[in-house]
Structure 1
Amino acid sequence: MFLPQLPHPPRSGGRIVTAPLVEGLAKNHEVHLFSLLHGEQGEDEGKEFLSRKLAGVHVAPGAKRFDLPVLGQSLFSRYPYKVHRFTQPELAKLAAKAAKKTPPDAIHCQNFYTACYARDLEAFRKVLYQENFETRMLERWAETAGQKVLGRLVRLELKRTLHFEMECPFWFDRIATISRQDEDAWRASAARFPETLRRFEGRLRTIRPSVDLDYYRAARVEEVPSPFPDDGRKRIVFTGLFGYEANVDGAVWLATEALPKLNRDKYSLWLVGQKPSVAVQKLHAPPDVIVTGAVPDVRPFLLHADLSVVPLRIGGGIRLKILEALALGCPVVSTSVGCEGLWSSVDPPIWTIADTPEEFAAALESSSALSRNREEMFAWVAERFSPARFVEEMEALYCGKS
């Protein structure tokens, strides 16, 4: 299994997807994990934890989020920046050595930017799992990035990412997307690439992820004190990595366009997550907006909040933060983009969807006043996103049953 980062501890979107899968597979299979290290808190603990559960944990240093040497290398390449950032020769050598010693039955790559590791390795089945159809996310970002330097760079990366996401399916026997919307978007983009579209026939499908249901039971954190002051305000929480462009855009939009339409003395917005960008740090203005930075555990924030919000305007895939909030019994307000892939006309949402600043502000006011049914919210998540179901569907891909 090739992952962009260690799946433990599962504190961010990507890790929340991969942690239950890796641990579930390890119960019945010999799993060798290959991952990059990014100098983040908890990596040593994560490696030690995984080493006790897996047949092998192989790691190599990863590049920084914005790495100038990697950026320079990518500017003269047909491959996008993320592929260069996450494809490290040291990790590829470790994989080649391990595959020679113990030929793998199946190879799993998480996201397109780890796909190069599988290209030159042999296995009965090679599977690519996409948390996002990156081209779609970049298309949305290009719409809001303007015409200056950032806009030009985004459009360059969009072009290279599109071509890479049309090329890499030929290296895999099966491809799975995290949502039906991403699958449909990938197929639609492939209409301009007939060979890729043919490659998708019988190979591309959607497999929803899972969340650790036991970890997000309210009973696990009920005795933890509330992290909020007792000031009579409604607490609105937005969780995530606040160096990630989609979260930065959403936080700024929420704080500057939607929140001012409310009575500011009645609400506090809490931006809870690590690595806040400069733009997010500038929003910090207690008691109206609080930027916490990294916290040891987001669960107490979600358990004691009046609302969890997902104000995203760009991005793709599935927002697992919605499932985390619902599992802990916290009502949710999201934009349409923020909750893509989680509901359909035959399986409607149990949260509120709003897209304009006026609609979002009104939804915050009305939803924060509603009574909540924690058991009903948890049951909704458990019925659709259980780890056992996720592992079973992925095993079918590895074993040639699907």
Structure 2
Amino acid sequence: MGETLFLAHRVPFPPDRGDKIRSHHVLRALAALGPVHVGTFNDASGYGDQFLTGIAASHYLVPSRKPDLLAAAEAMMRGQPVSLAAFAHAGLREWVDQVLNYRPIDAIYVFSGQMAQYVPPHFPGRTILDLCDVDSAKFDAYGDVGHGPKAWVHAREGRMLRAEEERFARAADTTLLISENEANLFRTRVTSMHQIDLQVMRNGIDAQFFAPDAVPPQPTLYGPGPNIVFTGQMDYAPNIAAVVRMVDRILPAIRKRRASAEFHIVGRAPTAAVKALGRQDGVTVWGEVSDVRPFIAEADLVAAPLTIARGIQNKVLEAMAMAKPVLLSPEAATGIDAEDGVQFTIAEGDRMMIGRALALFEDRSKADAMGKAARAFVLDKQSWPAMLAGLGDLLRPPHGQPLEVSGPVRDAA
């Protein structure tokens, strides 16, 4: 196998949020197959250059993406999605051209649709487009539930990004999505599937890192409980909506039956609206923590009451791997082929959320059995090696022989 160019909209380190977890493991798998060159955008972590120096044959790290207002202005003038304008960078484009001219690049792996703009139209090797999920559908949902100018901007973004997703997928050799549901959704949003090779590559989980015995017990972390935990990036609109829903509509009813019940919000960058939730009785906003595992380990219940969700929720897989009972909405369960009532419990609507949470609190043996079944499911079905087993076949040189791998990426076309 020759060399690979890997393009990502966010530096894949540290692997501490959904997209970065996936891109991190994909990049490590690519580096194990052969030399990889990485073009990406830095974030506030400060570790990007050090990480890429250790794993990539060469790299180009853009210090930051454009500010939202500047990207929006450019997008409006050029008639393109804001998502593309935000990640357009002349220096990165020039570096990509140099790598393709001077290195034996057999394949380009594009992580997230925003980066497909860097693939030249006549690249002779393989192009893999990892959309993860259908971003345009997320913006459609924002537009549907929003109001005023912001809703118009979201509706525009959804409409324009939908067209770009189809164009990019048609140009790529293979397009990857994170679940069968996302693949099916994508099919409904394109004019035809002609010349689109659509496959599913699900997210995995590091079940050795996220394990019940991976962290020492911290029984004084929370109060007597029961303690409900939500983890996630807390400036992300679906996560914000989920915790607001829990605090305003679900927790008060739970506390009527279990007065000492508490809700803990764990995740970086909480907005002012999220921080304000901490003033409510029984609510603690922890913000960014050095290690999320103790907060999961000491939970009586991990909740994911998302109303907008794309792809597979890593927060759900992490809690399941740590043998915790998980209460989630149908949206948050998307793409996880576990059984309701066995490896997790699904609740549709606030009243069902309340009832199922109380039932798990009152039947600890059932909750414990659900947690054990959840971990067994993750070990059997959701490991990263299993998810990435077919990556080598996807990236084989156009005129070369397929690499030997342990299993295929599942075909969803």
Q: What's the TM-score once normalised by structure 1's chain length?
A: 0.90
How far apart are 1:286 and its partner, in Å?
5.8
- C-alpha distance in structure 2 between counterparts of 1:309 and 1:259, whole Å: 11
What is the distance in 2 between the residues matched to 1:394 and 1:78?
35
1:297 and 2:291 are equivalent in the alignment: yes
Q: Distance in 2 between matches of 1:338 and 1:365?
A: 20
Alignment of 1:32-111 (within 5 A): 32-38=37-43, 40-41=44-45, 43-44=46-47, 46-63=48-65, 67-111=68-112
2:233 matches 1:241: yes
Alignment of 1:182-331 (within 5 A): 182-190=182-190, 193-194=191-192, 197-200=193-196, 203-221=197-215, 223=216, 225-226=218-219, 228-229=221-222, 231-263=223-255, 265-285=259-279, 288-331=282-325
* Alpha-carbon distance in 2 for matches of 1:167, 1:277: 35
Over 3 Å counting, the alpha-carbon distance change for 1:248 and 1:99 in structure 2 is same
Distance 2:207 2:142 in 1: 32
Q: CA deviation at 1:287?
A: 5.2
Q: Secondary structure at the match of 2:160?
A: helix
- In 2 relative to 1, CA 261–133 (structure 1 residues): closer, same or farther, beyond 3 Å? same
Q: Which residue among 331, 336, 343 is the counterpart of 1:337?
A: 331
RMSD: 2.1
Contact (CA 8 Å) 1:17, 1:211: kept in 2 or not? Answer: no
Q: CA deviation at 1:375?
A: 4.7
**Cα separation, 2, equivalents of 1:293 and 1:104:** 42
Shift of the 138–315 alpha-carbon distance from structure 1 to 2, 3 Å rule, reads farther
Greater alpha carbon shift after TM alignment, 96-105 vs 118-127: 118-127
Provide closer, same or farther for how the CA distance between residues 263 and 113 of structure 1 changes in structure 2, counting only shifts above 3 A: same
For structure 1, the 5+ residue unaligned runs are: none
Task: Report SS of the residue matched to 2:176.
Answer: strand
For 1:390, the equivalent position in structure 2 comes to 387
- Compute the displacement of 1:132 (Å): 1.4
Following TM superposition, the consecutive aligned residue runs of length 4 or more in structure 1 with deviations greater than 4 angstroms are none
What is the TM-score of this pair, normalised by structure 2? 0.88
CA contact (8 A) 1:132 1:177 kept: yes
Q: Distance in 1 between matches of 2:220 and 2:136?
A: 38
Contact 1:136 1:315 in 2 (8 A): no
C-alpha displacement of 1:135:
2.1
Q: Structure 2: which amino acid aligns with 1:376?
A: A
Structure 2 gap segments, 5+ residues each:
1-5, 403-408
Match of 1:25 in 2: 30
Distance 1:60 1:123, change over 3 A: farther
* C-alpha distance in structure 2 between counterparts of 1:28 and 1:185, whole Å: 32
Percent of aligned pairs with the same amino acid: 23
Contact 1:255–1:283 (Cα < 8 Å) also in 2: yes
Q: Which residues in structure 2 correspond to 1:5-20 (within 5 Å)?
A: 5-20=10-25
Cα contact 1:104–1:123 (8 A) shared by 2: no
The Cα of 1:120 is off from its aligned counterpart by 4.3
Is the contact between residue 25 and residue 391 of structure 1 (CA under 8 Å) also seen in structure 2?
no
- Report Cα offsets for 1:346-374 as digits up to 9, x if no partner: x9861111121111111221223433145
Give aligned pairs, total.
388
- Going from structure 1 to structure 2, the CA distance change for 1:119 and 1:354 (only over 3 Å counts) comes to farther
Report the 3-state secondary structure (helix = DSSP H, G, I; strand = E; otherwise coil) of the residue aligned with 2:205: coil
What is the CA–CA distance in structure 1 between the aligned matches of 2:291 and 2:338, rounded to whole Å?
Answer: 31
**Contact 1:227/1:300 (CA < 8 Å) preserved in 2?**
no
Whether 2:346 is the aligned partner of 1:353: answer yes
